[in-house]
């Protein structure tokens, strides 16, 4: 029987990642508020995980293990099975322009769930890279002495902190668009919950 669009390991890892990301974002906002980066920018208590910086930090470390281990499993699974390459590459520039134009005209069709459009591919690649960057910069902010060479390479401790904060903005921006699109095209959400259609076999394509 041909595999489904989203085999169960992908679904499990996707939703575990969503939980981990939400923990990381909300606890990160709790830590941030103790020592702000952008003057005047504060996160309301309603959007912070942990009553103040210390408990938020505990949440951040707990979420980090789930994010890092689960993310590593997703990358290894995607690379070993070839799924990442099949689903996210190639990205053609012409198709990218075409999809952006259609989206701006609210033509958001997703008839064939088994193929990601160029914008989706690009956004997924960007968010995967942002996730990797968050784990690396988070590690550097946590252990700046042990990784002093890498910290210096990225511009010093405060610069790494800002880069970590900037990565959060990319992920939150992605999340807003991603969740909005999955609600606009609910069959994609259903597929990410149940596995979706079976992929065409070589015989189907020939």
Q: Shortest approach of ligand HEM to residue 181 CB, angstroms?
A: 8
Tell me the CA end-to-end span of the chain in Å, nearest whole number: 17
Radius of gyration, alpha carbons of the chain: 19
Site stretch for ligand HEM (CB under 6 A), options 26-34, 93-101, 126-134, 147-155: 126-134
Contact 15, 34 (CB under 8 A): no
Site stretch for ligand HEM (CB under 6 A), options 28-36, 64-72, 188-196, 198-206: 188-196
Q: Which of 139, 163, 175, 195 is the binder for ligand HEM (CB under 6 A)? A: 175
Examine residue 4 and tell whether it contacts ligand HEM (CB under 6 A): no
Q: How many residues does the chain have?
A: 206
Q: Which of 16, 100, 113, 135 is the binder for ligand HEM (CB under 6 A)? A: 113
Examine residue 99 and tell whether it contacts ligand HEM (CB under 6 A): no
User: Secondary structure of 146-206 in the HEC alphabet?
Assistant: CCHHHHHHCCCHHHHHHHHHHHHHHHHHHHHHHHHHHHHCHHHHHHHHHCCCECCCHHHHC
Site stretch for ligand HEM (CB under 6 A), options 65-73, 96-104, 144-152, 182-190: 182-190
Q: How many residues bind ligand HEM (CB under 6 A)?
A: 20
| Nearer of residues 58 and 128 to ligand HEM, judged by Cβ | 128
By C-alpha distance, which of 11, 51, 46 is closest to 31?
A: 51
Q: Which of 179, 180, 184, 199 is the binder for ligand HEM (CB under 6 A)? A: 179
Examine residue 182 and tell whether it contacts ligand HEM (CB under 6 A): yes
- Cis link prior to 120 (omega < 30° from 0)? no
User: Secondary structure of 3-70 in the HEC alphabet?
Assistant: CECCCHHHHHHHHHHHHHHHHHHHHHHHHHCCCCCCCCCCCCHHHCCCCCHHHHHHHHHHHHHHHHHH
Q: Which of 127, 140, 151, 160 is the binder for ligand HEM (CB under 6 A)? A: 127
Per CB under 6 A, residues contacting ligand HEM are: 10, 14, 17-18, 21, 87, 113, 124, 127-128, 131, 171, 175, 178-179, 182, 188-189, 191-192
């Amino acid at each position: 029987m041909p595999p489904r669009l989203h085999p169960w390991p992908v679904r499990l890892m996707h939703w575990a990642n969503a939980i981990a990301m939400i923990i990381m974002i909300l606890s990160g906002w709790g830590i941030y508020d103790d020592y702000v980066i952008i003057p005047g920018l504060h996160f309301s208590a309603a959007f912070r995980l942990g009553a103040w910086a210390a408990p938020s930090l505990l949440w951040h470390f707990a979420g980090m293990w789930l994010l890092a281990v689960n993310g590593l499993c997703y990358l290894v699974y995607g690379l070993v099975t070839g799924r990442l390459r099949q689903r996210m590459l190639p990205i053609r520039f012409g198709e990218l322009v075409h999809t952006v134009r259609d989206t701006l005209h609210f033509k958001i069709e997703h008839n064939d769930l088994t193929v990601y459009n160029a914008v989706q591919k690009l956004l997924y690649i960007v968010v995967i890279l942002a996730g990797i960057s968050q784990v690396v910069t988070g590690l550097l902010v946590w252990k700046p002495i042990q990784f002093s060479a890498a910290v210096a390479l990225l511009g010093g401790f405060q610069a790494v902190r800002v880069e970590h904060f900037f990565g959060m903005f990319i992920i939150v921006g992605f999340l807003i668009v991603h969740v909005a699109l999955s609600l606009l095209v609910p069959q994609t959400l259903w597929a990410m919950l149940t596995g979706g259609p079976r992929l065409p076999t070589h015989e189907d394509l020939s």
